[in-house]
Structure 1
């Protein structure tokens, strides 16, 4: 009976340690910036790790009054590229803690 309590105590310590490491890595990731660019690099979108856009740069060559849809497409491509970077880093960095947890 005592051995089971000790094992449970060790498991709880490990979980608390993992939780602390996860929080630290998440904080580091959230403090980084991620920049996505459109395929031709005419549009750049910068986000924090918290998915907040902090900058959007549009090259004047991307602004064609006769084709506003092109600019929309370039902006979407840049935004999606930046968000993918955040997702990929999250899976790589935080996944090592959450992949083995039930329901994650």
Structure 2
């Protein structure tokens, strides 16, 4: 094996490879912290001028639904359903925005 110098090919030796591994581990830890923060971050979707409010985490887990009594009409359940859908969609949009703000730095890394 003449000419073999050890190391990791194009990485220039074990020390650089070790540094890369440390950086990758640090990034993974930071990503896990950011994901945990998403579970603790609440957003509120609102519709009908506040008649329906949906609170969810930035990971889109619904935690609470508030419906103002004036939004409840037994003769027009469709309106309430539409308000609920609009509030959920508003919440999802806000959750997406928070997610992209917190996780955007990790995009495309596959960690």
Normalising by the residue count of structure 1, what TM-score does the alignment of the two structures yield?
0.84
Normalising by the residue count of structure 2, what TM-score does the alignment of the two structures yield?
0.80
Q: Does 1:17 align with 2:17?
A: no
Say if 2:45 and 2:91, in contact at 8 Å, map to a contact too: yes
Q: Does 1:71 align with 2:86?
A: no
The 5 A counterparts of 1:1-104 are 1-2=6-7, 3-99=12-108, 101=109
Number of residues of Structure 1 aligned to a counterpart in Structure 2? 102
Question: Where has structure 1 moved over 4 Å in runs of 4 or more?
Answer: none
Q: Could you say what the CA RMSD is over the residues aligned between the two structures, in angstroms?
A: 1.9
Deviation at 1:10, TM superposition (A): 1.4
Deviation at 1:50, TM superposition (A): 3.7
Deviation at 1:39, TM superposition (A): 4.2
Which consecutive unaligned segments of at least 5 residues does structure 1 have?
none
